[in-house]
Structure 1
Amino acid sequence: MELHIVIEGRKDLAGQLYRQLGDAIRSGRLAHGQQLPPSRLLAEQLGVSRKTVSDAYSRLTLDNLVVGKAGAGSFVQAPARRSAQPAHAAPLAAAATVARWDTLPAPLRHPQQEGGSRFEFVGGRPAASLFPQEDWRRCILHGMRQETQRRGRYTDAEGVPALRDAIARHVAFTRGVACTAAQVVVTNGAQQALDLLGRILLEPGSVAAVEDPGYPAARMLFAGQGAHVAGVPVDRDGIVPELIPASARLIYVTPAHQFPLGVPMSVARKRALLARARAIGAIVIEDDYDSAFRYEGRPTDSLKGMDKHGLVAYVGTFSKVLTPELRLGFMVAPDALLNAVHNAKHYCDWHTATLAQHALARFISDGALLKHIRRCHAVYAQRRERLQAGFAAWLAPWFELLPATAGFHLAAQCKDSMDMDQLLRLARRADVGLYTLGKFYCDHPPREGLLLGYGAIDTLDIDAALLRVRDILGEMR
């Protein structure tokens, strides 16, 4: 990569070079400590004499903007930068659109600010210690071998065929989703699947119905795309279909393990939701984010498995069963949307990185994914039991756990009014990370309570953490 210098004409060449390098150093474009090209190399690149470059470097050295190191070369010695004066920005024709994105709340945007306590109940974070390091390394090596056969080429927007086939077989086996590999689209996490569906279904002013309380990143995404987002209440059977606006173009739900309340959607409610979607012509987005971990009751059909009219887009992710850093998700799109989704994915980022796709395809096909899920399930089941026992014994005067049959978080609602901000603040002082349900509500008054993730806390730490919470609640009362 050549240093960006523009030489005009044949006059004052050393002066031109001196001024441009000086401006680049003072503005910060050339960082402190960055090595400048050797004078001979830069002279060849610019088509000037070596003496011209040496003269410019000498003047910069006299100005204390460059320092020469014997045997190493010339390096930038940037002065302390003054605070930049605010520029007089020109008004933007798209100012209103920019402002809409600029002012969106982002409660999950900075995850590093959560999860810093010794005892952590942060939601959505799988147990890092359970990651199958050796199995994954073996699959990555397989992916690298596959890459050598197609290096230097782009691939299909919808994903690597081997992974799409593996996903189709996996969701058919585990969730009863009847689909073919042709209906599977590999995405950069479930969030991109939601973005693609919003792009092709929503226009400014159109209506998107979401659960209330619900997943805020989906709600904010649809709002950023210009939709009017309508929060629809959730009871212990799931979203209430008759309250979904008739003008809704899409309906976003988490039926297997409602986020954040955790309740499963009943079969009767699923049928009512599908009937409502058919009546108004809406697409249902089924976000099946963590149903791989089921603890009680018989498995129930997914919405996609019950769909007879091509109205359900099934969205899944590997962030919860493997690791969020992987950024691999997928959707099983209805046939009516498939080509539009392919086009949107192509124009958005062409395709998802292929090395990880090849590795994940082998990981699923070899049975390593199901083996890993069984291992995590055994650990999460123990942690879930400890949470249930602790709330039944120590925290029963204050909280009621909501029923949940899957996932790796539970929700607890307050029995009486409580200062949740104070509880969270005092718990943090006691090195316990607690998180409120209130931030997941949008259009309806929030019910006070806690979201209790048990992926990031060790089983043996749960009792100690809950006893600290009990002591704090006793002091507050």
Structure 2
Amino acid sequence: MELHLIIHGQKDLAGQLYRQLREAIDSGRLAAGTRLPPSRLLAEQLGISRKTISDTYAQLTYEGILVGKIGSGTFVNTRLPRHDRRQDGVRFASQDNIDRWANLDTRLRHPGTTGTAKADFIGGATTQLQFPQEEWRRCVNHAMRQMAGPRGHYSAPEGIAPLRDGIARHISYARGVNCQLDDVMVCNGAQQALDLLARIMLRPGDKVAMEDPGYTPARLIFQTLGAEVASVPVDAEGICVDLIPDGTRMIYTTPSHQFPLGMPMSSARRAALLARALELGALVIEDDYDSEFRYEGRPTDALQSLDRHGVVAYIGTFSKVLLPELRLGYLIPPPSLFPALVRARQISDWHSSTLPQWALAKFISEGYLLKHIRRCHGIYAGRRERILARLQGDLAPWLETVPSVAGFHLTALLRQPINVALLTELARKVEVGLYGLAPFHHQAPVREGLLLGFGAIDTLDIDPALDKVRDLLQQLA
């Protein structure tokens, strides 16, 4: 039997050999019982070391794909037909609840790199081009050195002290948050912070008030824990505090950059919200998801900085500042909630991975984070100005901008009836990613429009993409 294998270059030799042998066996080109060449002979034919051949044979033998016979050699093992486990699954007594989870709406799920358009106005996403790879690599190397000692124990649920201290210093400076190291809990993104707060604060049937339109994943977290979510409309000043119902235990809000519309909450509305929360005995969750980037006027401090009674839990994330894949965020709860949150964190996943924690702590302490934010601020400001110029220029007959001073997305409401679903579908066909506002509405009447993110789209792609959007709007109108 002649075995056809091709090795390219000198990288990942074992991986190349493994994949080619596995594919040949899975496809049937190497049938069960076929004897493979001795490792010495195959090594000479391919020009690679005998150890690489032996290690690959050993791995495939461990997986049951090959079998070694003493005195005879190595053979392709006889493999039983795969059993299709999906065919005969039992119906569990909890099937209704399983189906409820399986059918949750995931329209806001990010499509990944393979599902994005060439020019994508997706919100909440950044690009690898802005990420400081060299600085991060140095910080990861530092993290590896920190973890090289004789450890072998679990870390603290609230996070490692250097990162908690770095976060406290950063958000005190950048957002005016009143906190110190002992107030900070490191989380796997803002999503986990929301989940932990909901777990310790809510029981089935408890009432949560949140903005409508608002952040749909937060609504799903509260609902899946059995809470009753009350939709509270927003106006030009933010959440309508006088419509927060009696009996509310938790209030979720995005005061610095309302999601998805973008306007900031006014000072009067902030004071009214804190007073209403104190009256109800409710916790206010302040999701400050992307407010490090501010473009107009005096920077507005976080709502938490106004809290004098311990009713605000502040949530932030590095997904918007650095990369979503890092899955690192933080929670600054009222001090009275901290012990309960530590216990809840310990029984859910114990703690976040310490390697990225050490790396991020170094990244902050060396000043790389502030440097990165300043650099991205200039890039995002230029993209924002370009989009605003188009919205106030040739796109103005169809789209009206919602005033926004922070973050890296803009919202534009329709001035005339347009089928947004059809618009986004047609845009996708010309490699432009557009996103409507309908998925963020629950009970409030849908205010049709577009969420235009400018974190992931390249500056040079904005005008050509908006030219295509203008042409589509002309056709649909």
Instruction: Quickly name the TM-score band, shorter chain normalised.
Output: 0.7 to 0.9
2:138 maps to what in 1? 138
After superposition, where does 1:68-467 map in structure 2 within 5 Å?
A: 73-78=74-79, 81=82, 86-87=87-88, 89-92=90-93, 94-112=94-112, 116-467=116-467
Q: Distance in 2 between matches of 1:33 and 1:148?
A: 46
For residues 416-465 of structure 1, the C-alpha deviation after alignment (integer angstroms, 9 at most, x for no partner) is 22111111111111111100011110111211000000111111111111
SS in 1 for 2:149: helix
SS in 2 for 1:186: strand
Residues 1:89 and 1:251: Cα distance change in structure 2 (over 3 Å): same
Residues 1:223 and 1:258: Cα distance change in structure 2 (over 3 Å): same
Shift of 1:150: 4.9
Q: Distance in 2 between matches of 1:395 and 1:457?
A: 19
Residue type of the alignment partner of 2:386: R
Residue type of the alignment partner of 1:344: A
Shift of 1:347: 0.7
- Aligned partners of 2:168 and 2:181 also within 8 Å: yes
- Aligned partners of 1:107 and 1:216 also within 8 Å: no
2:61 maps to what in 1? none
Shift of 1:91: 4.1
SS in 2 for 1:257: coil
Shift of 1:95: 4.0
Shift of 1:208: 1.2
1:20 maps to what in 2? none
Shift of 1:99: 3.8
- Aligned partners of 2:66 and 2:74 also within 8 Å: no
Q: Distance in 2 between matches of 1:158 and 1:336?
A: 15
Residue type of the alignment partner of 1:318: F
Residues 1:152 and 1:83: Cα distance change in structure 2 (over 3 Å): closer
1:56 maps to what in 2? none
- Aligned partners of 2:418 and 2:476 also within 8 Å: no
Gaps of 5+ in 2: 1-25, 33-63
Q: Distance in 1 between matches of 2:172 and 2:79?
A: 60
Residue type of the alignment partner of 2:225: Q
Aligned pair count reads: 418
Q: Distance in 2 between matches of 1:348 and 1:223?
A: 19
Q: Distance in 2 between matches of 1:121 and 1:72?
A: 58
Residues 1:114 and 1:277: Cα distance change in structure 2 (over 3 Å): farther
- Aligned partners of 1:65 and 1:79 also within 8 Å: no
Q: What TM-score results when the alignment is normalised by the length of structure 1? A: 0.83
Residue type of the alignment partner of 1:468: K
Q: Distance in 2 between matches of 1:212 and 1:337?
A: 27
For residues 48-68 of structure 1, the C-alpha deviation after alignment (integer angstroms, 9 at most, x for no partner) is xxxxxxxxxxxxxxxx99776
Residues 1:331 and 1:67: Cα distance change in structure 2 (over 3 Å): same
Residues 1:471 and 1:363: Cα distance change in structure 2 (over 3 Å): same
Shift of 1:82: 6.6
Residue type of the alignment partner of 2:215: Y
Residues 1:223 and 1:142: Cα distance change in structure 2 (over 3 Å): same
Q: Which moved more, 1:100-109 or 1:116-125?
A: 100-109
For residues 141-163 of structure 1, the C-alpha deviation after alignment (integer angstroms, 9 at most, x for no partner) is 11111112353111111000011
Residue type of the alignment partner of 1:87: D
Q: What TM-score results when the alignment is normalised by the length of structure 2? A: 0.83
Shift of 1:333: 1.0
Q: Distance in 2 between matches of 1:284 and 1:258?
A: 15
SS in 2 for 1:313: strand
Q: Give % identity.
A: 53
